[in-house]
Amino acid sequence: MTLSGKKIIIGITGGIAAYKTCDLIRKLIKLNADVRAVITPAAKKFVTETTLRTLTRNSVYCEQFDVPEWKPEHISLADSADLFLIVPASANTIGKMANGICDNLLTSLIAAFNKPVILAPAMNCNMWENSFVQENIVKLEKAGFYIIPPESGELACGYEGTGRLADIGKILEKALEILSKEKFLQGKKIIITAGGTKEPIDPVRYIGNRSSGKMGIALADAAYSFGADVTLVSTIKVDKPYKIINLSTAMEMLETVKNEFSQVDALIMAAAVADFRVNSTSDHKIKKGEKENITLELVKNPDILKEISKIKRDNQVLVGFCAESQDLIENAKKKIGSKNLDFIIANDISDKEIGFNSDYNAVTIIDKFMNEIKIDKTLKKELAKIILKEIFK
């Protein structure tokens, strides 16, 4: 494989493992990558600027406010790169990045960088296991950073445990995987629904559910990153670079999806659509007064997937979500047939650590031939990518 035309920033922080980064740079250069090294002041204690300049054949960047001459490529470093690797990532720099502290050039560049970032931590085993360090790792992982955890073994400090830098081969492999990702959804038009519908009782109150919309939004983000022309139909307001249609009720969602469906290749119904709505909505706020009880008459909402299946073409893909607290797989498989689905994503809402309002989920992907793929607890951002790859592979 060649990395010709790819620009990579290598960030080096203060730690004995910094010398290993030289080997990573050498391997990237051998693949024709354009590599720029950014080091923290503490990293100078472990690796010299001369060594890095010789290996990268580029300038080495360290001081944030000490630039001897104006160089546009230095100012636009974050914008021009395709990938940012921080190898090794110290506990100190991890803490700064996780909390938005920009007190050196490396942390300032990370704050401005909006493309993939790989972190390869290395430190004393007790530091790695420190609860604050672990909280910061989780924050960065949730923000989309790729974490390559340290390995277990004998450490430079004399301790035995988890903290040594991951094998350079693993770090290189991850970088190649990210840089070689194809836009496999290029040319595809996809509708994705997200959030829980809100069925009004009066101008103030509504019947709703606990859906946060995180899974649907993660799917839309991932589809967009894979090159798809995305339309997000959502009850949650978000600011994204793709088309968003905001609405509230099941009836509005049905109408919108019907109008859009004929123009797309796939519909992914991740929204939690209310099964019922109030038959007669009050135009005015219902007063409590002396009433001890109030009765609401509910009527069934149409099943959006069933309605869409009636107009589905053979070359269109229909994907549903199934949230159950018992008999998950059995109920999910019944819905595939009754709703004419190509795939259904089944998740167990009885597990409090996943699903509603959580950043994590665990699902089973079932296709129309009843094949099952079980995905254990995973960040929804990563799970979205897995789901899309399975659907469109």
Examine the domain organization and report whether 124 and 196 are in the same domain.
Answer: no
In a domain? residue 374: yes
**Does residue 153 form part of some domain?**
yes
In a domain, 236, yes or no: yes
204 and 129 part of one domain: no
Q: Per the domain annotation, does 2 fall within a domain?
A: no
Specify whether 162 is located in the same domain as 195.
no
Count up the domains in the chain and report the number. Answer: 2
Query: Do residues 137 and 17 both lie within one domain?
Result: yes
Q: What is the mean pLDDT of each run of 10 residues along the chain (393 residues)?
A: 88 95 96 95 95 94 64 62 96 96 92 91 94 95 91 84 92 88 87 97 93 95 92 95 96 97 97 95 87 90 95 96 87 92 90 76 94 91 92 89
298 in the same domain as 388: yes
Judgement on whether residues 122 and 221 belong to the same structural domain of the protein: no
Task: Give the CATH number of the domain where residue 80 resides.
Answer: 3.40.50.1950
**pLDDT score, position 359:** 87
139 & 205 share domain: no
In a domain, 226, yes or no: yes
User: In this predicted structure, what is the pLDDT of residue 236?
Assistant: 96
Whole-number pLDDT of residue 76: 67
Query: Which active-site residues does the annotation give?
Result: 157
- Structural domain including 126 reads 7-179
Nearest to 199 by CA among 244, 254, 237, 238: 254
Residue 75 pLDDT: 54
What pLDDT does 18 receive?
96
User: What CATH number is associated with residue 372?
Assistant: 3.40.50.10300
**216 and 100 fall within a common domain:** no
- Which of 161, 179, 197 lies at the terminal end of a domain, its last residue? 179
Domain boundary among 133, 161, 179: 179
Instruction: Note whether 153 and 239 are same-domain residues.
Output: no
- Residue 143 and residue 57 share a domain: yes
Task: Please indicate, yes or no, if residue 1 is contained in any of the structural domains.
Answer: no
Q: Is residue 356 located within the same domain as residue 212?
A: yes
Question: Which structure tokens are listed for 284?
Answer: 């005015």
Phi and psi for 372 in degrees, rounded to 5? -120, 140
Inside any domain, residue 184: no
Q: Which of 117, 146, 179 is the last residue of a domain?
A: 179
**Residue at 326 is within a domain:** yes
My answer on whether 290 and 362 are in the same domain is yes
